[in-house]
Structure 1
Amino acid sequence: MTYQNQILARLTDNERGRIQPHLSIVRLERGERLSEPQSKISKVYFPHSGVFSFVVELPGGGAVETAIVGNDGVFGAAQALNDQVSLNSVLVQMSGEASVIDLYRLRDLALELPGLRKALTGYEVFLFGQAQQTGACNAVHRVRERICKWLARMQDIAGDELPLTQEFLAQMMGVRRTSVGEVAQTLQRDGMLEYSRGTIRIKDGKKLRDNACDCYADVAGHYKVIIGDDPLET
């Protein structure tokens, strides 16, 4: 079987042969919750399409996104390896398909297969780094740069057409809806994107990345150093 998830695609034929019988493909719809804060989870998800958002929900209301996972990653690896609870809400931001495995089955396989264990722990290191970068980015960079970074990252893992509203984007980034609207207008005027009916279409990804803050390149660099090149492009 050919996997569209980069973590699974990195495994050797032997490792894939061991894990494949325990995987099932599920369809996940936008808005589904995969975990709640301080909760135990029972399954681990390897997205093939779609996007997951790690979200910190604030006591006074509102929420801020700290990391996103697409077909480059996995959700639930840390819990499988260390029997820990999920600290964040994890939501399906964009609908798609994922390979799913029982958490305890994956733990057993990771103990037996060093390559699988390395892939899972490596991605968790990257995910932690992504969350740290997001915190620093939210503190010091301008809204325009942050939006360009976020959209460029989304293009990398989800393609050119993103079914996202400006209101949702503002909530995930912790900024005012009017600020997102103003930036979206300038990006559309400059030919980087097109926005209509709750859908953002990326028109010029290179220009978008050129206008993003340094965090975009930093996160991409972290992934390449820790995980490696995309095996789906080779």
Structure 2
Amino acid sequence: MSSEKGGLNIEAALVGREGMTGLPLILGDDRGSADVMIQVSGMGWRIEAAALSRLLENRACRDRLLRYVHTVMIQIQGTALAYGRGKLEIRLARWLLMCHDRISGDELELTHEFMALMLGVRRAGVTVALHELEGRALIRSTRGRVLIRDREGLEAVTGGFYGGPEAHYRRLLPECMTERTPV
């Protein structure tokens, strides 16, 4: 999450089972400037900074991690474009797809308030956009949950704001693909 001193926050990038946090260390900085927020339950691995630094001495490992950093930079560019030029419904559809990429199953446990925080918008706007997507039978929204019903339909709603960074990920890190990782 990117934050400013007054307490405003917005999501800058999404990371799931395909990736990692701690990118500044890979780039030679021992401090990060972003906050990390866990959105869904799941298992993860933790590595000490010193151990990661030792791994970076291995050229193949370092090259793979730098390719991953590049995919995150591309994702951030796509997010900036979507947030700057896309309507809320488009941004929400894109964000739901990106979350869907990173979980098993089709149900996301997310509140309207949380989605609003991630997208940097008012909760009421998220509620309206969810109703629009639900009206097209693309999702089913209940209290604290969103069920993805028509992934292809959601992709169509994004009008090209989803898919570019995901294609770069597949090209740069094909060995890291999982069951459903268009990421």
TM-score by length of 2: 0.90
The corresponding residue for 2:157 is 211
> CA deviation digits over 1:15-69, x for unaligned, max 9?
xxxxxxxxxxxxxxxxxxxxxxxxxxxxxxxxxxxxxxxx112233331001010
Asked which structure has the greater CA Rg, the reply is 1
Give the drift of 1:87.
1.0
1:86 aligns with 2:32: yes
Task: After superposition, give the CA deviation of every residue in 1:198-225 in whole Å (9 maximum; x if it has no partner).
Answer: 0111111111111114221111122123
Contact 2:26 2:66 in 1 (8 A): no
Larger proportion of strand? 1
Query: Cα–Cα, structure 1 residues 59 and 81, in superposed 2: closer, same or farther, change >3 Å?
Result: closer
How far residue 122 of structure 1 moved from its aligned partner, in angstroms, is 0.8
Q: Determine if contact 1:141/1:213 at 8 Å carries over to the other structure.
A: no
Residue pair 1:80, 1:104 contacting (<8 A) in 2 also: no
After TM superposition, the structure 1 stretch with the greater mean CA deviation from structure 2, 217-226 or 85-94, is 217-226
TM-score, with length taken from structure 1: 0.71
SS in 2 for 1:96: coil
For the structure 1 residues 80 and 220, does the alpha-carbon distance in structure 2 shift closer, same or farther, using more than 3 Å as the test?
closer
Q: Relative contact order (alpha carbons < 8 A, sep ≥ 6): 1 or 2 greater?
A: 2
Give the number of aligned pairs.
Answer: 178
**Runs of 4+ more than 6 Å apart:** none
Following superposition, the deviation at residue 92 of structure 1 comes to 0.8
Q: Distance in 2 between matches of 1:92 and 1:99?
A: 13
147-156 vs 126-135, which deviates more?
Answer: 126-135
Query: 1:171 is matched with which residue?
Result: 117
Q: Which runs of 5+ in 1 are unaligned?
A: 1-54
Give the gaps of 5 or more residues in structure 2.
Answer: none
Q: How does 1:45-194 map to 2 (within 5 A)?
A: 55-111=1-57, 113-158=58-103, 159-194=105-140
Question: Counterpart in 2 of 1:48?
Answer: none
The CA RMSD over aligned residues, in Å, is 1.6
